[in-house]
Structure 1
């Protein structure tokens, strides 16, 4: 009886084993197929420089490279997570864009321009950049190190930007140079743009360093030549260094001196008297 039972169960056990083996093979093939579908395509999103330092009033510019190594064309949507008030732009082939299509095996250079918010505090900011398609989800991590701002203001202590002067005289114009930024300003120089033959000297003519929030006084001595016609004249004074520039326009009203006016009146009277003399002398004939 025991022999008979073993022979009847043998074929059924083999069938069950074969069925289990087939199910296992099918499950393994399904797992391999799903794994192949979810496997990364090998596409990449990289940048030559990922860390850039610059003042807050400048644009951070990164050069990135996007490559499609998938076996089909991919439409990549470009995006980012930036701090509030910041601005970001993607540019390629001379145009601004928000998405780009790449053929299999193709590479495209993408310029990323990042503009910090006005008044952003000096710090290091992490900026994630995304390129997402149906098959790829690529991420690039950039760093923007905000150093602060170079800002310069040239004005007068009273805010007045006009005056009067007699031709042939000199006038001292008091100016104030202010560092309104968050970074020190070094090697500042003063210059002028005046009407022809006018002359300006500055004291001091150079400022070695001006710390944030500080100001210094400068005296501009303006020399107006003799015989300058009466009227309004404009001069421009400039303070600058390699990082910042500020220009102020100053209007000067030139008046004729009393001596010059007296001489002019005397010449007119003499001319009238001479004409009257000629009329009396030659008029009798």
Structure 2
């Protein structure tokens, strides 16, 4: 009896385990898109991503089918480049792995706007499992073709539409206007320029005459000069300008460009010139000794100076050094409000003949160059002066002794 009960319980356990394993090993897969409803222009092709995921215990081959409107060239393709058309996907038994494919379709020419539905079907090779994804395509009306603009009978041309100048200079454009009408017309001129810029027009060969219109004969051509003046302190950059000509119902415009580069003006000065006291361009030095001179440097332009280096033109045997030897950048004085200071150390040779010498200080940047000439008066050192005094004393003493001896005789 006990043996029979044990067998019954064993069979119950085995059946329950088999049922559990059967449930755990059930085949399944996922097939979906994140965008089941899309809008499409009639001249565009639909490209929709689909995701396949095997959630079952064994690999599966999934066959792909599509049903929907005819003539759309509906198909499945790989998602990675280069794309190829496909009809099936092999999925490994990995519930974490997602395979992405693409569904493509393009409406044939002349398709009316409205709603179109595609049924995308994925089924296992044995046909036991299948998933259907309905995709709704809302085909929008075709965008109307813009009307061709009326052909104007004013034609503008310019040889140099982009002009580059430093700040403070005028920008000048010679513009040719052709009247293609069969009658003489008065052409009115106007300009569109940035705020605070000034613009005016002159006949090409009469720069002192300013005009706002001119007469141009039938099928004739004339040239006007368009002059634009930027404001004081304008920043570097590119500025758009528009030249407009209008006659009767015709209007033509020309897009131009003014490129402001900024100005570069390297200046050098002495301490006396900058501060009102100290060294001038005439200095004194002693043979064999270092004479320190303070050089002031500034940028009187509107754009930065870069890579400013210093060197000197000097007599043979002289030494001239600079501290610092180089300035990476010198901003405009209008921004810094103070000049740069450079120490110049000048050393005549120890046996230099007393007199006046010229030492030229040169500052050179990537954009500008400036030179300052110094007159250096060299005097003998005090050591030689005392030696000279000693020689004179010895000579005087010797002569005095001789006179005394001769006087006694």
Residues 1:186 and 1:261: Cα distance change in structure 2 (over 3 Å): same
Residues 1:67 and 1:249: Cα distance change in structure 2 (over 3 Å): farther
Residues 1:114 and 1:203: Cα distance change in structure 2 (over 3 Å): farther
Aligned to 2:74: none
What TM-score, normalized by structure 1, do the two folds share?
Answer: 0.52
Deviation string, structure 1 residues 31-77 (Cα, Å, up to 9, x no partner): xxxxxxxx998453323554456542556465644546566899999
Aligned to 1:208: 328
Q: Which structure shows the bigger proportion of residues in helix conformation?
A: 1
Q: Where do 5+ consecutive residues of structure 2 fail to align? A: 1-149, 399-409
Aligned to 1:244: 368
Aligned to 1:45: 156
Q: Where do 5+ consecutive residues of structure 1 fail to align? A: 1-38, 274-285
Pairs within 5 Å for 1:161-240: 161-162=280-281, 163-195=283-315, 198-212=318-332, 213-214=335-336, 216-225=340-349, 226-231=351-356, 233-240=357-364
Shift of 1:108: 7.8
Aligned to 1:155: 269
Aligned to 2:167: 56
Shift of 1:175: 2.1
Aligned to 1:120: 234
Shift of 1:165: 1.0
Residues 1:256 and 1:54: Cα distance change in structure 2 (over 3 Å): same
Aligned to 2:132: none
Alignment check: 8 A CA contact 1:129 1:139 kept: yes
The 2-side partners of 1:228 and 1:78 are apart by 73
Shift of 1:164: 1.1
Residues 1:167 and 1:75: Cα distance change in structure 2 (over 3 Å): farther
Pairs within 5 Å for 1:102-141: 116-121=230-235, 125-129=239-243, 140-141=254-255
The 2-side partners of 1:199 and 1:263 are apart by 26
SS state at 1:242 partner: coil
Shift of 1:235: 3.3
The 2-side partners of 1:218 and 1:81 are apart by 47
Aligned to 2:256: 142
Alignment check: 8 A CA contact 1:74 1:101 kept: yes
The 2-side partners of 1:133 and 1:86 are apart by 23
What TM-score, normalized by structure 2, do the two folds share?
Answer: 0.40
The 1-side partners of 2:228 and 2:362 are apart by 30
The 1-side partners of 2:242 and 2:388 are apart by 77
Alignment check: 8 A CA contact 1:152 1:180 kept: yes
The 2-side partners of 1:129 and 1:165 are apart by 64
The 2-side partners of 1:192 and 1:96 are apart by 46
Deviation string, structure 1 residues 206-234 (Cα, Å, up to 9, x no partner): 22233454454322222324333423x44
Shift of 1:194: 3.8
Whose radius of gyration is greater, 1 or 2? Answer: 2
RMSD: 5.1
